[in-house]
Chains A and B, each alone.
Chain A
């Protein structure tokens, strides 16, 4: 079946502009995650959605970052007033993980490479 898809694959924007990144998880996966991968920084957790529960936003680096998940499926990560330090690859993942159960692996999308000029 189809895996996690993300769009766009690449995004170049100017400093100060807003951007929206989209993630389509695997059908039936209840959990959805956003991570950021910066050069030499590894993977940084941003936000986690689980079913209808309140999202875990503990990883969002500033209030310029927000995310929503509509209808328990597609998610959009929005970065307002982008800065050069926001340049990174943004990865989305989904899993079958139910709340308070952690054994299922996450399936990752190919990522969106964001470049802020």
Chain B
């Protein structure tokens, strides 16, 4: 079965410091991996995705994520955090092995609350 784990409910970072939001996944086939961000009282916004190719993916707002197949991880990173980055972050996976059966369904992690303090 497909699953996504975000082991940290909350991450606290000082402004200007690097940030990491962790994500690990479990699929039977090859994964398509996504990060979304949710600001208060807003819908989810797409940040970046890994489909194939380079393991380091760059996305919106200076975020990047590294796909690590051996560790089944897709951690979200940013070199220098901003207070405005404070939000709820979701990792999601789509299992390509299952796509013929399950179509476009995304499996989401539980979310990680990122708090960046001045």
Contacts and interface: CB of A to CB of B under 8 A. Distances in A.
Contact of B111 (A4, A42, A108, A109): A42
Interface stretch (A64-72, A76-84, A96-104): A96-104
Interface residues of A, number: 31
Dominant secondary structure of chain A at its interface with chain B: loop
Contacts, number: 70
Nearest to B95: A102
B42 A110 contact: yes
A31 B41 CA distance: 24
A52 to B, nearest CB: 13
Nearest to B102: A56
A77 to B, nearest CB: 15
B101 to A, nearest CB: 9
Interface in A88-114: 91, 93, 95, 97, 99-103, 105-111
A5 to B, nearest CB: 10
Contacts of A43: 44, 90, 92, 108, 111
A48 B101 CA distance: 12
Contacts of B90: 42-43
29 contacts: A31-B104, A33-B105, A33-B106, A42-B90, A42-B109, A43-B44, A43-B90, A43-B108, A56-B105, A58-B102, A58-B105, A59-B105, A91-B43, A93-B44, A95-B104, A97-B103, A101-B99, A102-B94, A102-B96, A103-B51, A105-B46, A105-B49, A106-B46, A106-B104, A108-B36, A110-B41, A110-B42, A110-B43, A111-B43
